[in-house]
Amino acid sequence: MQKFADEALIEVSSGNGGNGCVAFRREKYVPMGGPSGGDGGRGGDVVFEVRRNLRTLAHLRYKQHFKAENGRDGEGSQRYGRNGEDVIVPVPPGTVLKDADSGTVIRDFGMDEGRFVFLKGGNGGWGNIHFKSSVNQAPRKALPGKPGENRRLKVELQVMADVGFVGFPNAGKSSLLERFTNARPKIAPYPFTTKIPNLGVLTLGERDIILADIPGLIEGASGGAGLGIRFLKHISRTAGLAFLIDLSEDNYREAFSVLFKELEAFSPDLVAKPRIIVGTKLDLEETGSRLAELREQYPREEVLGISVFSGEGIPELAAAIGRLVNTAEAGEKEEG
C-alpha cells in the first residue's frame, strides 16, 4: 500500500483503419469478372473501464502507452478486413481524466461503473467494389483507411469516501479509523505517520459508511507545506468532514480555525460541507475540561469528545457520523 499512486501520465492511441483493396474476379469461364476488392477493417477503440478491485493508479506507472490494434486490409473475392481489437485501460472508481496539456477535464468517473469509449478507431477504406458504375466497369480505385487518434492524458484519482478525517499530525485520525473499521493504518506516536490516504468501512445497521483518513495538515498546507495538501483532493468528494482536535496539545483552541482556513484556501467547497468537531484523547489529564472549553468556544458546531483507548464517546461519534451523512444526502436531494 505504500506504493500508493494517485496520478499518472499516459498516452493512448486508437487503431488505424485498414486499406481498401483493388481486385477483380478471376474465375474459369468468367474472363471479364468485375471488381471484387473488399473494405478495410475498422481500427480498435480506446476504452476506459472502471474496476472496483483497483484502489490506486500504480498499474499506469508501469504501462504508460496504450495502443489499439489497427484494422486489417481488405482482400480480393470481396473479403473484408478484420476490425482491430480495442485496448482496455482499467481505472479505479473516482478517476478523473484530464488533457495533459490544457488540464481540461474530459471525464469524471465518480462511482460510475462500466465502459467509456474515449477514442474511436479509424474507419476502414472502401474497396473497388464500391466504385463500379455504368461508365467504369473495372475501377482501379480504393480508399486508404482513416488514421486513428492519439492523446496524452493526465489521470488523477480522488478517493471515494463518505466522511473525511481532517486534523493535524498525530491527532488520532488513524487510531479512530482502526477503532471503527477493519483498516490497519500505520500508527505511531510521532507526526506524519500517515503518508497515504487510508480507507475503512463503518457499518451502522444495514448501512456502510466509507471513512477516509488523509495525512495530517499543518499550518500553511494550502500553500504547499507538509504532506496534506497533496491529498486534500481526496476529501473533495466526501459527504461531510470530521475535524479531529488533539485535546492534549496546547493549540487545541486554535486548531479548528487553522484547519478551517487551510481547507477554505484550498477550496471553499470543502468548508461548505456538513461537519463535526471531535476532541480526541479524553483518557488523558485535563482533556475533559478542555473539551468543555471547546464547546463553549464553538456553540454553533457539534462538538464531541472521544477516547479511542477507553472507548468513551465512540458510540455517540458513530451515530453523529451517520447523521452527518444523512444531512449531506438530504442537501444533495434538495439541490437536485
Residue 247 Rama label (left phi>0; alpha psi -120 to 50; beta): alpha
**Residue 218 annotated in ligand binding:** no
Same domain, 298 and 330: yes
Region 168-191 average pLDDT: 66
**Residue 213 annotated in ligand binding:** yes
Where a domain ends, among 124, 158, 192? 158
**Residue 307 annotated in ligand binding:** yes
**Residue 36 annotated in ligand binding:** no
**Residue 309 annotated in ligand binding:** yes
**Residue 195 annotated in ligand binding:** yes
Band (pLDDT 50/70/90 cuts) for residue 11 is very high
* Structural domains of the chain, count: 2
Band (pLDDT 50/70/90 cuts) for residue 194 is very low
**Phi and psi for 180 in degrees, rounded to 5?**
-80, -30
Same domain, 154 and 30: yes
Same domain, 169 and 243: yes
**Residue 171 annotated in ligand binding:** yes
| Cα 156 to the center of its chain, rounded Å | 6
Same domain, 151 and 204: no
Same domain, 58 and 22: yes
**Residue 170 annotated in ligand binding:** yes
> Percentage of residues in the chain with pLDDT exceeding 70?
84
pTM value is 0.65
Angle made by CA atoms 63, 184, 111, in degrees to the nearest 5: 50
The Cα 188–Cα 167 span in angstroms is 16
**Residue 174 annotated in ligand binding:** yes
Q: Is the pLDDT of residue 235 over 70?
A: yes
**Residue 14 annotated in ligand binding:** no
CATH code assigned at 9: 2.70.210.12
Same domain, 79 and 148: yes
pLDDT at 223: 47
Band (pLDDT 50/70/90 cuts) for residue 3 is very low
Same domain, 53 and 151: yes
Same domain, 217 and 274: yes
CATH code assigned at 217: 3.40.50.300
Q: How many CA atoms lie within 13 A of 197 on its CB side?
A: 27
pLDDT at 30: 67
- C-alpha cell of residue 298: 464553538
**Residue 274 annotated in ligand binding:** no
The Cα 92–Cα 110 span in angstroms is 9
Same domain, 138 and 113: yes
> Percentage of residues in the chain with pLDDT exceeding 90?
39
**Residue 260 annotated in ligand binding:** no
**Residue 194 annotated in ligand binding:** yes
Where a domain ends, among 106, 139, 158? 158
The Cα 300–Cα 283 span in angstroms is 25
Same domain, 51 and 177: no
What pLDDT, in 10s, does the model give residues 73-127? 999 888 999 999 999 999 988 888 999 999 899 998 876 777 899 999 999 999 9
Region 162-166 average pLDDT: 87
pLDDT at 225: 46
Same domain, 204 and 109: no
Give 212 or 218, the one with higher predicted confidence: 212
**Residue 282 annotated in ligand binding:** yes
**Residue 283 annotated in ligand binding:** yes
- C-alpha cell of residue 197: 490516504
Give 333 or 80, the one with higher predicted confidence: 80
Angle made by CA atoms 103, 194, 199, in degrees to the nearest 5: 70
**Residue 250 annotated in ligand binding:** no
Same domain, 57 and 199: no
Q: Whole domain around residue 322: which residue ranges?
A: 163-335
What pLDDT, in 10s, does the model give residues 299-320? 999 999 999 888 899 999 999 9
Where a domain ends, among 158, 174, 191? 158
Residue 287 Rama label (left phi>0; alpha psi -120 to 50; beta): alpha
Band (pLDDT 50/70/90 cuts) for residue 176 is confident
